[in-house]
Every structure is written in structure tokens, then in C-alpha cells.
């Protein structure tokens, strides 16, 4: 348990940050679909370390090597096996941590849970594992694009700098997401965010952030009530990503202060198309997509590794001090944008396939 995600479209993953490779198996991929492999590699580049001065300076090429599941560029319906070799592990960077539990890291809990800990760079708990999700998500996105379904995640908040506009006002700006290092579609905010991240980095500190994701053109009817609601699966998908502390759909936590007459999304019909006047539901009602934009926010905590002295304990249960080392991200959200999209795409394709089984 724990290494698979999805039901009919399913990813099972393996790999630690400092093992030989990370990789996965994708099951349930539709057969007979032409895949553009360069688009998968492009998605990996969006997540790759070392892409700019505001991400970690570790170097990983992150080249995916497919082992199975394709014939002459098309999917065969067979499981897609793939590996991504770990090229730049530099175990030395991490060996000094082998007997210390880093604060707000997973060292302590892994060691207690398993009775053994892979101290090399966090082992399995490293975010390096998310590269595998990118591969599965990139395939899901290609397939869903044939149905016109598209995914638009972006950084909407870093520290106290935030995009103020409602999600629905951002449509024209979404094309800018990749135009800056932060992946914020509002250019002025992007500049401020970048500056903030650089300042935090200089102090050897890190900072939190928020990603918003908009999914367009999801067909009506995806979601399996009552326990496997589409929103419940999206919540789990997002909370399965390292450093996530919050998830909200549509009106989200703002709904607490709202009254029903204001929060309800009235239906109307115009030119034979059913729409809602507002979208506080975030495109999901009763756990099922209603055809409107799905949008949600994901909160990411500041990266736990800081270049400052911290108090902690070691594996002998002694109080000690720890000085951070290594090459880490000062803020995780710029690189987490494609991960959010990948997880969302896996959910939507999986639930799309499930919905296919409702008719004889």
C-alpha cells in the first residue's frame, strides 16, 4: 500500500532520491494512442531541479526511459514501465544527517515506522519521487487533450504576495504561466514573488506558497459518490504531494463566512447550454463534475531544510544542534506547478474511464 494511485488509470511508483533509478508502472492506459514523447520530457523539465536561480541547484537530467507498453509510438494497452536514472546523487552532501532527525522532515517518522531509515537525501520521502508522477500525468494530459480537457496550474501566492483577482478573471493571463521563473500568470506579482524568494534564500531561509489549478472542459458526470467524490479524490491527490498543508475547492474556506443565498450557484440556460451564474461549487456538485471550470487551491509549507542552525534530536535521543547543508529550494511552489497538474490529470482520466462503465 501507499505506492499506487488511481483505479482504472493507475500509477505504481518506486524509487528513492539516491537509489539507482526512480520509476513507475502505468496501468490502464488506453490502447492505440499516439504519444508525443517530447511533451513528456517537456513536463519533466518544468519540474527539474536547477532550472533557475530560485530553485535548488542540484543537477538532474531527468530523462525518462520507457521499458514497455508502446509499439511504434502507440500505446498497446499493456502496462507502461519506465525508469528515470539518478545521475547526480552526491551522497556526501547528506551523510552528515544520518544520525540526526531534521525538524519537520520525515526522518523521525520513517525511522519509527519502519525501524530503518534511508538517510541518503531523505530516501523515499524526498520530493524527487514526484518526477514519476509527472510522467504519468503527462500521458494523461495528452489523452485528455483529445477530449479538449486542459489543466492550468499556477502560483497564486508566495508569502504575503498574492493574486487578488477571482480565478475567472485570469483566463487571458494563463498563457503567461511559463513566462517567468515563479510560474505566476500575473507578471507584476511574479516579479514581486521572485524578489521575495531571492531575499528569503539569501537569509538561508525558505517560504511557503499557494498553487491554484483550473481544469477546463471536464465533462459532466465524473465522480463516484459517496466516498469517492471527485473532490475527495482531488483532495487526496493533492495531499499526497510533499509539503501540502491545505486544499480547498471553489469558494473553499471563504464559504464559512457566506450565507446560502449568496453561495448558491444558480443554473440558467442560454443558447441551449446549461451554466451557473457563479461557481462557488468549483465545478463539482454532490461529488460529481457539473461541466463548469473545476478550480482549487493548494497550500505548500516552506521547505523544511534551511541553511540556519536549528535544535533537534539525534538517533540516540540526545538534544543536538543541526546546521542545514546541501542544495535545496527556497520555495517549492514554482517546481510544484507541474506536479499539481499531473496529479489532477491522473484523477480526471481515471474517473473518466470509470464513468465509461455506467452504460451497457
Which residue, among 305, 52, 38, has the nearest Cα to 155 in the 3D structure?
Answer: 52
User: Which grid cell sits at 228?
Assistant: 469517492
Q: How far is the CB of 148 from a copy of itself (least distance, A)?
A: 12
Interface pattern 27-46 for a copy of itself (x via CB under 8 A): xx-xxxx-------------
* Residue 3 contacts a copy of itself per CB under 8 A: yes
Using CB under 8 A, which of 228, 293, 326, 327 touches a copy of itself?
228
* Nearer CB in complex with a copy of itself: 147/188: 147
* Nearer CB in complex with a copy of itself: 52/310: 310
* Nearer CB in complex with a copy of itself: 175/336: 336
Rounded CA gap, 88 and 227, in Å? 42
* Nearer CB in complex with a copy of itself: 44/237: 237
Give the count of beta carbons closer than 10 Å to the beta carbon of residue 114: 11
Give the count of beta carbons closer than 10 Å to the beta carbon of residue 330: 26
* Nearer CB in complex with a copy of itself: 50/159: 159
* Nearer CB in complex with a copy of itself: 57/175: 57
Is the Cα torsion angle 219, 359, 234, 240 positive or negative in sign?
negative
Question: 94 to 153, contacts with a copy of itself by CB under 8 A?
Answer: 101, 103-106, 108-110, 112-118, 120, 123-125, 129, 143, 146-147
Residues 6+ apart with CB under 8 A from 133: 5, 11, 13, 339, 342, 343, 346
Using CB under 8 A, which of 38, 92, 164, 268 touches a copy of itself?
268
Question: 302 to 341, contacts with a copy of itself by CB under 8 A?
Answer: 302-306, 308, 310-313, 317-319
Q: How far is the CB of 85 from a copy of itself (least distance, A)?
A: 9
Phi, psi of 333 (to 5 degrees): -65, -35
Give the count of beta carbons closer than 10 Å to the beta carbon of residue 347: 28
* Nearer CB in complex with a copy of itself: 92/311: 311
Rounded CA gap, 149 and 142, in Å? 9
Which residue, among 133, 119, 112, has the nearest Cα to 19 in the 3D structure?
Answer: 119
Rounded CA gap, 68 and 8, in Å? 18
Rounded CA gap, 214 and 154, in Å? 9
* Residue 73 contacts a copy of itself per CB under 8 A: no
User: Which grid cell sits at 323?
Assistant: 546546521
Q: What is the CA radius of gyration of the chain?
A: 21
* Residue 221 contacts a copy of itself per CB under 8 A: yes
Q: How far is the CB of 225 from a copy of itself (least distance, A)?
A: 5
* Nearer CB in complex with a copy of itself: 29/175: 29
Which secondary structure element, helix H or strand E, spans residue 185, and what is its range? none
Using CB under 8 A, which of 13, 55, 56, 212 touches a copy of itself?
13
- The count of chain residues that interact with a copy of itself, using the rule CB under 8 A, is 160
* Nearer CB in complex with a copy of itself: 90/236: 236
Question: 270 to 309, contacts with a copy of itself by CB under 8 A?
Answer: 272, 274, 276-277, 280-282, 284-290, 297, 299-306, 308
Question: 158 to 217, contacts with a copy of itself by CB under 8 A?
Answer: 158-160, 200, 205-210
Amino acid at each position: 500500500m501507499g505506492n499506487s494511485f488511481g483505479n482504472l488509470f493507475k500509477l505504481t511508483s518506486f524509487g528513492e532520491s539516491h537509489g539507482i533509478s526512480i520509476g513507475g508502472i502505468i496501468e490502464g492506459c488506453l490502447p492505440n494512442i499516439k504519444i508525443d514523447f517530447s511533451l513528456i520530457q517537456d513536463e519533466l523539465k518544468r519540474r527539474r531541479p536547477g532550472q533557475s536561480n530560485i530553485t535548488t541547484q542540484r543537477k538532474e537530467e531527468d530523462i525518462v526511459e520507457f521499458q514497455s507498453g508502446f509499439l511504434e509510438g502507440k500505446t498497446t494497452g499493456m502496462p507502461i514501465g519506465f525508469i528515470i536514472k539518478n545521475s547526480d546523487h552526491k551522497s556526501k552532501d547528506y551523510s552528515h544527517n544520518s544520525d540526526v532527525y531534521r525538524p519537520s522532515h520525515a526522518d523521525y517518522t520513517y525511522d519509527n515506522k519502519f525501524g530503518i531509515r534511508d538517510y541518503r537525501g531523505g530516501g523515499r520521502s524526498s520530493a524527487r519521487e514526484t518526477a514519476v508522477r509527472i510522467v504519468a500525468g503527462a500521458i494523461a494530459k495528452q489523452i485528455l487533450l483529445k477530449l479538449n480537457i486542459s489543466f492550468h496550474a499556477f502560483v497564486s501566492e508566495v508569502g504575503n504576495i498574492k493574486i487578488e483577482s477571482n480565478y475567472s478573471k485570469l483566463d487571458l493571463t494563463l498563457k503567461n504561466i511559463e513566462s517567468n521563473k515563479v510560474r505566476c500568470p500575473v507578471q507584476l506579482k511574479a516579479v514581486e514573488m521572485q524578489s521575495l524568494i531571492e531575499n528569503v534564500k539569501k537569509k538561508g531561509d525558505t517560504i511557503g506558497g499557494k498553487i491554484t489549478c483550473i481544469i477546463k472542459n471536464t465533462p459532466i458526470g465524473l465522480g463516484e459518490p459517496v466516498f469517492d467524490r471527485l473532490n475527495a479524490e482531488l483532495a487526496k491527490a493533492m495531499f499526497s504531494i510533499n509539503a501540502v498543508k491545505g486544499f480547498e475547492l471553489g469558494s473553499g474556506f471563504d464559504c464559512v463566512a457566506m450565507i446560502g443565498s449568496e453561495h448558491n450557484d444558480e443554473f440558467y440556460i442560454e443558447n441551449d447550454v446549461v451554466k451557473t451564474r457563479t461557481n462557488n461549487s468549483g465545478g463539482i456538485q454532490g461529488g460529481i463534475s457539473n461541466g463548469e471550470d473545476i478550480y482549487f487551491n493548494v497550500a505548500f509549507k516552506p521547505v523544511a531544510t534551511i541553511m540556519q542552525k536549528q535544535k533537534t534530536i539525534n538517533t540516540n535521543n540526545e538534544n543536538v544542534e543541526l546546521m542545514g547543508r546541501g542544495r535545496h529550494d527556497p520555495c517549492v511552489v514554482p517546481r510544484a506547478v507541474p506536479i499539481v497538474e499531473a496529479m489532477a490529470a491522473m484523477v480526471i482520466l481515471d474517473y473518466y474511464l470509470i464513468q465509461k462503465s455506467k452504460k451497457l
